[in-house]
Structure 1
Amino acid sequence: MYFRGPAVGLTFCSFHLAFYLINKYVLSILKFTYPTLFQGWQTLVGGILLHICWKLGWVEINCGSRADIVAWLPASAFFVGIIYAGSRALSRLPIPVFLTLHSASEVVTFVVQRIFYREQSSYIRLCSVTFLLISAGCLPIHDKQFDADGYFWAIVHLVCSGFYKVFQKSHKSSLLSDLDQQYINYVFSVLLLAFASHPTGDLISVLEFPFLYFHTFHSGCCASGIFGFLLMLLSVKLRSSLSPAHHLSWGFLAKVLTAVMSLFVFEISLNVPLAICFLACALGEILRVYTEKMGS
């Protein structure tokens, strides 16, 4: 276990890096900004791979009763909001900015749990949430590449992510496992995004996409779907085999690696205040890991 844990964690970090770099390349460099088709294709690939692994006996999926599935559908709706808004935001924002705003979803989770579930929190977690909020709130002020639409969709993304986490925690006693939940998410997403592709105009607009890029786009979407699926499997593996603090530690390392490596691949106007925002977010994440470690 001591040898397998680090190997799985490092593989998780590698897939996290590849997933975001590929997505950013397709959305920003190729400028394929049709999120219903892009995310629909990704979730279709992920759903097919998960179904194949289930039929081959490599993973166990038991979606339970119809009542369990129906009860999980609101979370699936938040999942669609996460991936749709995430694509819109990532196409316009640098990866470090996007990941910093994504980390602020913990603020939404914290507020909802305090208001609606009356959960008590330690001062360390409060400090963690404060740093995450400050880092995300100061980004628009110091971002020389400020994009209003990008930040708008990033806010939608982090709000959906925060509510999804709350919903997931409130269903811990459910008969649905993490893979069951993800399988339902995949099916729901494919169906919803397929129906939404025409009203949003994506299905028509894609005909104007340069034909020269089509093979690159398909390769990028397939690779993104595969890496996203493997990333999900490894995340489930880490969550089930490690403590919450260790799982969060690997997630934090993956974000740092992805943010740093993206600086060498994509252009970003980095300045001192922006770097301080990133460091404040990192400090908030570290305090979050420490909070989980003290609570375990």
Structure 2
Amino acid sequence: MCVRRCLVGLTFCTCYLASYLTNKYVLSVLKFTYPTLFQGWQTLIGGLLLHVSWKLGWAEINSSSRSDVSTWLPASVLYVGIIYAGSRALSKLAIPVFLTLHNVAEVIICGHQKCFRKEKTSPAKICSALFLLAAAGCLPFNDSQFDPDGYFWAVIHLFCVGAYKILQKSWRPNALSDIDQQYLNYMFSVVLLAVASHPTGDLFSVPDFPFLYFYRFHGSCCASGILGFLLMLSTVKLKSLMAPGQCAAWIFFAKVLTAGLSILLFDMILTSATVGCLLLGGLGEALLVFSEQKGS
């Protein structure tokens, strides 16, 4: 059982790393900055692969009632916000910066649990939230590659992530499984992003993309769709096999690995102040992992 968990954890880390690096390559190196089309493509591939997996018996999707589907609709809207804003932010920001800002979603969740659900919060979790917030708050003033547009979309992204996770935690047990939720997210995202591609101008701008007919672009887009699907499956498997603390530890390890390798592969100017902010954010997440393990 321990070997199986390690294999699942390593698979998750590999998919997480490969997915982020591939997306960053398409968005920043190839500069394919048409998020409705890029994210629409990823969710279309994810939805098709999940549907095929269901038909082949590799994944279980339960037939849900209309009330369950309609109740889940606000979460699907937030999911579209997560991937759209995340795509726009990642195209402008370095991966370590993006992940540091992304982690502030945990502060929103912690605040909601403390203020609205009146849950008891451990000192380690409070310190974690403060460190995460301080790291993200100091980054814009110490980032030598500061991009206001990137930070704006990162803030939208983290608020959507926080709200999505709050809705997910408050969902009725056994009403919709993680796979059911993701299947609905995929279906809704494909439709909404396809409709949005016209008013955003992405549909008419894409013919001007210089690498539209290059094999590097085609291969990277195919890889991004498949890797996104594999990351989703490995995440669901990770959560089903491990306690919350163990799951958080693997996610933390995957983020550290991805951030570290991205610095070697993509251009990023590191100053002592920037490194300090990133390390503070890492310390905050490490404390969060510690508090999850103590709680479990």
Per the normalisation by structure 1, the TM-score is: 0.97
1:268 matched residue in structure 2:
268
Instruction: Give yes or no for the alignment of 1:27 onto 2:27.
Output: yes
1:234 matched residue in structure 2:
234
Distance in 2, matches of 1:68 and 1:256, equals 37
Cα distance 1:184–1:251, how it changes in 2: closer, same or farther (>3 A)? same
Shift of 1:85: 0.2
1:158 matched residue in structure 2:
158
Shift of 1:212: 5.5
What amino acid is aligned across from residue 72 of structure 2 in structure 1? W
Alpha-carbon contact 1:63-1:69 (below 8 Å) kept: no
Query: What SS does the aligned partner of 1:267 have?
Result: coil
Alpha-carbon contact 2:109-2:165 (below 8 Å) kept: yes
Written as runs of structure 1 = structure 2, the 5 A alignment for 1:157-236 is 157-211=157-211, 213-236=213-236
1:100 matched residue in structure 2:
100
Distance in 1, matches of 2:63 and 2:166, equals 20
Moved more, 77-86 or 164-173: 164-173
Cα distance 1:157–1:212, how it changes in 2: closer, same or farther (>3 A)? closer
Number of residue pairs matched by the alignment: 296
The CA deviation string for residues 3-58 of structure 1, in whole angstroms up to 9 with x for no partner, is 11111111111111110111011001111100000000000000000000000001
Instruction: Give yes or no for the alignment of 1:50 onto 2:50.
Output: yes
Alpha-carbon contact 1:33-1:88 (below 8 Å) kept: yes
Q: Unpaired segments of 5 or more residues in structure 2?
A: none
Distance in 1, matches of 2:73 and 2:214, equals 33
What amino acid is aligned across from residue 274 of structure 1 in structure 2? T
Alpha-carbon contact 1:19-1:227 (below 8 Å) kept: yes
Please tell me the root mean square deviation across aligned C-alpha atoms, in Å: 1.1
Alpha-carbon contact 2:12-2:231 (below 8 Å) kept: yes
Shift of 1:273: 1.2
What amino acid is aligned across from residue 225 of structure 1 in structure 2? G
What amino acid is aligned across from residue 98 of structure 2 in structure 1? F
Alpha-carbon contact 1:128-1:288 (below 8 Å) kept: yes
What amino acid is aligned across from residue 87 of structure 2 in structure 1? S
Alpha-carbon contact 1:89-1:153 (below 8 Å) kept: yes
Distance in 2, matches of 1:212 and 1:179, equals 33
Distance in 1, matches of 2:63 and 2:175, equals 8
Distance in 2, matches of 1:174 and 1:190, equals 25
The CA deviation string for residues 224-270 of structure 1, in whole angstroms up to 9 with x for no partner, is 11111111111110101100000000000000000000011001010
Alpha-carbon contact 1:239-1:247 (below 8 Å) kept: yes
Shift of 1:218: 2.5
Per the normalisation by structure 2, the TM-score is: 0.97
Moved more, 163-172 or 30-39: 163-172
1:254 matched residue in structure 2:
254
Structure 1 vs Structure 2: percent identity of aligned residues? 61
Written as runs of structure 1 = structure 2, the 5 A alignment for 1:71-110 is 71-110=71-110
Distance in 2, matches of 1:243 and 1:175, equals 21
Distance in 2, matches of 1:63 and 1:145, equals 48
What amino acid is aligned across from residue 130 of structure 1 in structure 2? L
2:40 matched residue in structure 1:
40
Distance in 2, matches of 1:102 and 1:174, equals 28
Shift of 1:112: 2.4
Distance in 2, matches of 1:259 and 1:139, equals 15
Shift of 1:161: 0.3
Distance in 1, matches of 2:10 and 2:113, equals 32
Distance in 2, matches of 1:133 and 1:265, equals 27
Alpha-carbon contact 2:211-2:217 (below 8 Å) kept: no
Q: Unpaired segments of 5 or more residues in structure 1?
A: none
Distance in 2, matches of 1:113 and 1:198, equals 39
Shift of 1:213: 5.0
